[in-house]
Amino acid sequence: MKLYLIGGFLGSGKTTAILNAAIELIGKGIQVGVITNDQGVELVDTRFIKHANIPVMEVTDGCFCCNYDKLDDQIAALKESDHVEVIFAESVGSCTDMIATVVKPLEKFNKDIETVITVFVDANVLPTMLQGAPLFTDNVSYIYKKQIEEADLLVVNKIDSLSEVEFEKMKLLVGKKYPDKTTLFQNSLDESSINDWMAALVDFKTKTRDSLVIDYDVYAAGEAELAWLDLEIELFTGTNDAFGEGKALITEFHEAIDREKLAIGHLKFFIDDGTQQEKISFTAGTQSSLSGNRKTSSGKVDILINARVQSDPNHLESLLLNLIQEAEKKNGYKVVQKKLSSFKPGYPRPIHRIPD
């Protein structure tokens, strides 16, 4: 069985690529499953994949390395229930050291699984990071660079957002910095790009991988500088445009974070009024285009929010809840809070770590 382990920093476009790759493979008669992963417990990505009718399991409340046994259980569950031939396992965007804590333990305990690590980077963020500009703190940047270091395949994603001149500069920069990496330049909304990635995964020859030399104190400090916030709400309006009101609220939340100049790892929203659904994302490098092609159909909409921002979690929570209260007064609708969690990730403590 093939396990395609997908890493890369928050907002690099991993889930969209996985979804489109899974659709391509299913169209060819290949049984595919997906495992999502996050430090939180309410995952936008799981709902996004599930609404595409693709078998999906999740590993929550910590990264794959710190929940190795649950990852192993979910792999077994997909094999048993859906007879999958290929699994895409998407690690949380602040995770690194996967060779030592995931790949090598899998090689030791599950010898029938062949693993390839793809690490995604956002084409809009990578040049800034490589040239030393301060998008994030040094500790967060440390995680970003360690992720790239252990990639079997490096995917520079979202190249459709670059001009031709920017793209050529990007290729030169990546070639100079990572001359020994197998690198793909990808638009994950383009079928040919996805097929090129799939071909590279199939052609990859499994090799002996060196575990990272990594400072876990710096790694832990980097994760702790990112606030995690998960919130699920229901928005009720006196009209049938709850979907539109919900999208306006999402825009206001992003604008509030932007005004405070808080570095965004990823803002993910899944909005669902019972008949139509949409995933909306904002990242450090690119902004989501909010589609206007939605029908007016419901007076209630459900919104799940996953916010990963360089901030204090209490501040992030207050910012969002105050914004919701102001929006209720201004717009005359009612918001009901269903679930809320805000926190900083704890110190990463892998179940297994196999050094060289």
Could you state, in order of their start, the residue ranges of all structural domains in the chain?
Answer: 2-222, 226-343
pLDDT reading at 214 higher than 70: yes
pLDDT-wise least confident of 124-128, 142-146, 220-224, 283-287:
283-287
pLDDT in tens, 29-70: 999 999 999 999 889 999 999 999 999 999 999 999 999 999
Give the burial class of 97: count Cβ atoms within 10 A of its Cβ; 0-12 exposed, 13-18 middle, 19 or more buried. buried
pLDDT in tens, 105-121: 999 999 899 999 999 99
Distance CA 131, CA 164 (A): 20
CATH of 226-343, one of 3.40.630.30, 3.40.640.10, 3.30.420.10, 3.30.70.360: 3.30.70.360
Give the dihedral of Cα atoms 245, 251, 254, 257; nearest 10 deg: -80
Angle formed at CA 267 by CA 261 and CA 268, multiple of 5 degrees = 170
Three-state DSSP at 5 gives strand
pLDDT of residue 206: 81
pLDDT of residue 292: 52
- HSE, CB side, 13 Å, CA atoms: give it for residue 305: 31
Burial 311-330 (b: 16+ CB within 10 A, else e): bebeebbebbbebbeebeee
For residue 340 the two structure tokens come to 């809320």
Architecture of the domain defined by 2-222:
3-Layer(aba) Sandwich (3.40)
CB-based contact 69:355 (threshold 8 Å): no
Q: Closest Cα to residue 5, out of 115, 99, 165, 109?
A: 115
Output the furthest CA–CA distance in the chain (Å, rounded): 62
Confidence at 287, pLDDT banded by 50, 70, 90: low
pLDDT of residue 286: 58
Residues near 42 by beta carbon (within 8 Å), at least 6 away in sequence: 230, 232, 304, 306, 339, 341
pLDDT of residue 293: 58
pLDDT in tens, 291-328: 555 666 789 999 999 999 999 999 999 999 999 999 99
pTM: 0.94
